[in-house]
Amino acid sequence: MISKNIVILGGGIGGIIAANKLRNELPSSVDIIIIERNKMHTLAASYLWLMVNLRKAEKIRTPLSRLIHKGVKIIYEEVKQIDTSGKRIQTEHNEINYDYLIIALGSELEKKHLNNNQYGIHNFYTYEGAQRLRDELAKIQSGEIIIAIDSLPYKCPGAPYEAAMLISGYLTKRERKNKININLYTPEPHPLPVAGPELGKSVSDLLENKGIKFYPAHQLKEIKPEEKTITFNSDLTKQYDLLIVIPKHISPAVIRNSELEDEGGWIPVDRNSLETKLENVYAIGDINSVSIPGRWQPDKPMKLPKAGVFAHSQALTVSEIINSKIFGKEIKNSFCGDGFCMLEAGEDLAGFAYGDFFASPHPDVKMRKLGKAWHLGKVLFEKWWLAPYGFSKSFYKILIQLGAKSLKIPIKL
């Protein structure tokens, strides 16, 4: 009888996918444990819809336990220490031993600008933040909306651009667009440099067509909340009425205090196996650092984007590798670097971007023409993800895969 402990840190997309796949394929003598501090799960991909009042907050939130196979044990505590030499995880009240460890703790937001809502500073990267921004967008009648990216990397590289287009559509529908300017500032040389120049050009054209003013190569330097001004490294200072900041993303403290982090605070992994420098310890999703071809600035090499699609596919890869190791089989699986994104453009339209992020000399990602089908695909994914584990989830999965097949796009759920 096989007896092993597989411990998964984090109950986000990567953690959920890994836990369910492993539980479905391994005998009950193998214990699978998720450690997650939050009992309620919210779908971050739907925060943008919540921001423009296209979703009710309660509709994108569900108990974590409903999404996970009943054969997986969930410990609702915060991870306090990762003891890799002793193969132990210390939480607030427990000590858990592991044979295999999957770290899927995601990223956190620096709190510098998160609590300045009274000064018109908002974000859509948290469940609560998206709701507060929704309320603010309902009130604004005229003036300047600025969307500013603090620093790289940040989760979902398309999100700031989607936000700008969704807000544009929201204001147009309410006949306020001609009274409000939308401005997007980023330190990036063009939209989504991590996806290659062709996709960046496509997104730039979309912004221009919607009258959104785009300012690349603008690094945020200072915000003066009382004066409602924002300054960039070029010493350009702009006044705002509503400021949306994409906050700096950082790794959780337990990783920054471990031996696993690199100079950026993330966990470097083998790009094929997602294994860390320690045997049988894997890092998937936002918490890891995977080098890819190209540079977004001369001195700044590119890393694989922090996006749910990669957390998902990496979870499948690592689960298959662990399965092979436990049964003593040849390891045939590896992470290929392919990724996709339904890029929301407002008015129930979306584009579909797909490509190879490991391509050389830079990622090769292209976007198909805007259409309602891509938006519908994202809606179906939301329903699939939030459906309880079991029959209803299988139903939505079939719908998504049939749609993907008819549109000739490779999606693996």
Domain boundaries, the chain: 5-107+251-335, 110-248, 337-413
Give dist(CA 322, CA 282) in Å, integer.
10
SS3 percent helix, strand, coil of the chain, rounded to 5, is 35, 30, 40
Q: What is the CATH number of domain 5-107+251-335?
A: 3.50.50.60
User: In what helix (H) or strand (E) does residue 237 lie, and over which residues does it extend?
Assistant: strand 237-239
Is residue 404's pLDDT more than 80? no
pLDDT of 325: 96
Q: What is the pTM of this model?
A: 0.94
- Res. 396 pLDDT band, cuts 50 70 90: low
Task: Domain 110-248: give its CATH architecture.
Answer: 3-Layer(bba) Sandwich (3.50)
Give dist(CA 389, CA 34) in Å, integer.
16
pLDDT of 207: 96
CB atoms within 10 A of CB 204: 17
Give dist(CA 163, CA 252) in Å, integer.
26
Is residue 19's pLDDT more than 80? yes
Sheet holding 213-215, edge to edge: 121-122, 242-246, 143-149, 180-185, 213-215
Task: Output the CA–CA distances (angstroms, integers) from residue 208 to 45, 76, 182, 212, 289, in the order listed.
Answer: 24, 46, 11, 6, 33
Q: Give the 3-state secondary structure of residue 180.
A: strand
pLDDT in tens, 61-119: 999 999 999 999 999 999 999 999 999 999 999 999 999 999 999 999 998 888 777 78
State the average pLDDT over residues 356-375.
Answer: 90
Proportion of the chain above pLDDT 70, given as a percent = 95
pLDDT in tens, 258-292: 999 888 899 999 999 999 999 999 999 999 999 99
The structure tokens listed for 187 are 């330190």
User: In the chain, what is the straight-line distance between the N-terminal and C-terminal CA atoms, in Å?
Assistant: 30
Q: Amino acid identity, residue 101?
A: L
CA nearest to 43, candidates 53, 58, 33, 54 = 58
Task: Output the CA–CA distances (angstroms, integers) from residue 408 to 108, 122, 352, 363, in the order listed.
Answer: 35, 39, 12, 21
Give dist(CA 365, CA 196) in Å, integer.
6
pLDDT of 76: 98
Task: Compute the radius of gyration of the chain from its Cα atoms.
Answer: 21
Q: Using CA atoms of 275, 279, 283, 288 in order, give the dihedral in degrees to the nearest 10.
A: -60
- Res. 407 pLDDT band, cuts 50 70 90: low
Among 11-20, 52-61, 263-272, 366-375, name the one with the lowest average pLDDT. Answer: 366-375
Give dist(CA 222, CA 364) in Å, integer.
35
Please tell me if the domain spanning 5-107+251-335 has the same topology as the one spanning 110-248: yes
